[in-house]
Amino acid sequence: MSAVIYLDNNATTQVDPEVVAAILPYLTQYYGNPSSMHSFGGQVGKALKQARNQVASLLGAEESEIIFTSCGTEGNNTAIRAAIAAQPDRKHLITTQVEHACVLNLFKQLEKQGYTVTYLSVNRKGQLDLMELEAAITGSTALVSTMYANNETGTVFPVEQAGAIAKEYGATFHVDAVQVAGKLPLNMKTSTIDLMTISGHKLHAPKGVGALFVRRGFRFRPLLVGGHQERGRRAGTENVAGIVGLGKAAELAQLHLADVATEKKLRDRLEKGLLAISDTELNGDRKNRLPNTTNIGFKYIEGEAILLSLDQYGICASSGSACTSGSLEPSHVLRAMGLPYTILHGSIRFSLSRNTTESDIDLVLEVMPGIVERLRALSPFNNDQAEWLQDREEAVVGAR
């Protein structure tokens, strides 16, 4: 395999060379502990401060509102637990069916601990219905927690409106913005969001670093206790190199926000070309969507087989099919959208970045029709009428 055509940027991104350059001195020269009482460590403390500034600026927040974390999972877990601790008398929580596992699994655990959780549904486009939120929320709701944009479909939720509803009932509003930071402009100053998670490796910083926005004045209880790092809100010696990298990445993301239109154009060209293949469907909300993501269902064939065929050409994408993950059930997101199995198992996500080029898209468009044709020729299914599947499909759906 020669060049890699990387269209899996919602999974992770390439670390920007400028980010690497910014990090290096903190792995070699400036290795001091930022908490130390000497100027060698002090230098490192300054680097942290600068990174905090850079991240705050990307989010339109204040420096004091940024806590560095180790990843999106830590950010989400911290935020949700903090929100619960802030209003211990309220035992009702609201989230959506399409959250990341680090949110869903935590809520499942909380259910076992006596909380009631409402999981808001999504429609065929993967979009939330705010009326459903209005109907579910009460005075005993401690937290509304939702993604800003879905990782699989790119569907962007109306978070500001959702936040306004949460506010009306005095509930904390947490947003998982891992897929959004660097792709859409953010401004926490005018936002209804109380807590917001971001993750470094989704915006060209390394893995192992993230940040949590905590609105000033929020009664915050830390998840990790120990030393007084992060002003007592996240104990543990800071991942200085990672944080410096996240700072630089945030700065670059802000500069590149203007280029997002180009990315979107490429995405649209890719999408149009792929949808020209017969029996394909777009999964997600065409209008309210991340500019870099497209998720397309190729009917009657299976996702892993498509991915491996793409891999032959060095093309990296991702699938909501169960076979890729070791789990046996297809993506909970696509299932929540109510997609039929014919599409569900053959859905592929292409997610672009600012590094994606015209020729990357050209190659995908060149090889994809052949791949689909080959796999369909192998498949016993070629139309929705094949009854021997329909019976079974109903049986299985009914059993769930």
Partner 1 sequence: MWDYTEKVLDLFYNPKNQGAIEDPSEAGVAVVFGEVGSIACGDALRLHLKIEVEADRILDARFQTFGCTSAIASSSALTEIIKGITLDEALNVSNRDIANYLGGLPEEKMHCSVMGQEALEAAIYKYRGIEVEHHEEDDGALICSCFGVSENRIRRVVIENNLTTVEQVTSYVKAGGGCSSCAAEIEDLIAAVQQEKALTATRVAAEIATAQAQNRPLTTVQKISLIQTALQEVRPMLLADGGDVELYDIEGDVVKVVLKGACGSCESSTATLKNAIEVRLRERVLPNLVVEAVA
Q: Which of 115, 119, 218, 341 binds partner 1 (CB under 8 A)?
A: 341
CA 336-305-298 angle, 5° bins: 50
Nearer to partner 1, 63 or 304 (CB): 304
Q: How many residues bind partner 1 (CB under 8 A)?
A: 35
Least Å distance, CB 233 to partner 1, is 37
Going by the DSSP 8-state scheme, the letter that residue 206 receives in this structure is P
| Binding status of residue 349 toward partner 1 by CB under 8 A | no
Residue 339 or 352: the one with the smaller Cβ distance to partner 1 is 339
Phi, psi of 324, deg, nearest 5:
-85, -20
Q: Which is nearer to partner 1, 184 or 322 (CB)?
A: 322
Q: Which stretch binds partner 1 (CB under 8 A): 26-34, 89-97, 155-163, 318-326?
A: 318-326
Of 345 and 354, CB closest to partner 1: 345
The one-letter amino acid code at 348 reads I
Among 52, 204, 215, 345, binds partner 1 (CB under 8 A): 345
Sign of the alpha-carbon torsion through 267, 268, 270, 271: positive
Annotated active-site residue 71? The verdict is no
Q: Retrieve residue 246's tokens.
A: 């996240």
**What is the DSSP secondary structure assignment for residue 207, as one 8-state letter?**
S
Q: Which is nearer to partner 1, 114 or 326 (CB)?
A: 326
Say whether residue 8 binds partner 1 (CB under 8 A). Answer: no
Provide the mask over 277-316, with x wherever binding to partner 1 is found by CB under 8 A and - wherever it is not: -----------------------xxxxxx--x--xx----
Residue 155 CA: distances (Å) to CA of 52, 107, 126:
29, 22, 6
| Minimum CB distance to partner 1 smaller for 8 or for 16 | 8
Query: Least distance in Å: CB of 211 to partner 1?
Result: 30
Catalytic residue among 71, 102, 316, 323: 323
Instruction: Write out the two tokens for 208.
Output: 């192992």
H helical segments located in the chain: 17-23, 39-59, 72-86, 101-112, 130-136, 159-168, 229-232, 240-256, 260-275, 303-311, 332-336, 341-344, 358-378, 387-399
From 68-76, 114-122, 211-219, 381-389, span contacting partner 1 (CB under 8 A): 381-389
Q: Which of 2, 326, 383, 385 binds partner 1 (CB under 8 A)?
A: 326
User: Does the protein bind partner 1 through residue 393 (CB under 8 A)?
Assistant: yes
Among 118, 321, 331, 351, indicate the residue that binds partner 1 (CB under 8 A): 321
State the first-to-last Cα distance of the chain, in angstroms, to the nearest integer. 42
Our finding on whether 378 is near partner 1 (CB under 8 A) is: yes
Q: Mapped to the 3 state alphabet, what secondary structure does 137-152 carry?
A: CCCCEEEEEEECECCC
Name the region of 155 (left: φ>0; alpha: ψ -120 to 50; beta: rest): beta
**CB count in 10 Å sphere of residue 296:** 22
Which strands, in side-by-side order, build the sheet including 280-282? 280-282, 293-298, 347-351, 318-319
Phi, psi at residue 45, to the nearest 5°?
A: -55, -40
**Rule CB under 8 A: is residue 330 a binding residue for partner 1?**
yes
For residues 62 and 213, what is the distance between their CA atoms, to the nearest angstrom?
A: 9
Q: Among 39, 287, 377, 385, which residue sits at the site for partner 1 (rule: CB under 8 A)?
A: 377
Q: Which of 323, 363, 365, 367 binds partner 1 (CB under 8 A)?
A: 323
Nearest residue (CB) to partner 1, 258 versus 395: 395
Which residues bind to partner 1, rule: CB under 8 A? Answer: 300-305, 308, 311-312, 321-323, 326-330, 341-342, 345, 377-381, 386, 388-389, 392-393, 395-397, 399-400
The residues that are catalytic are 323
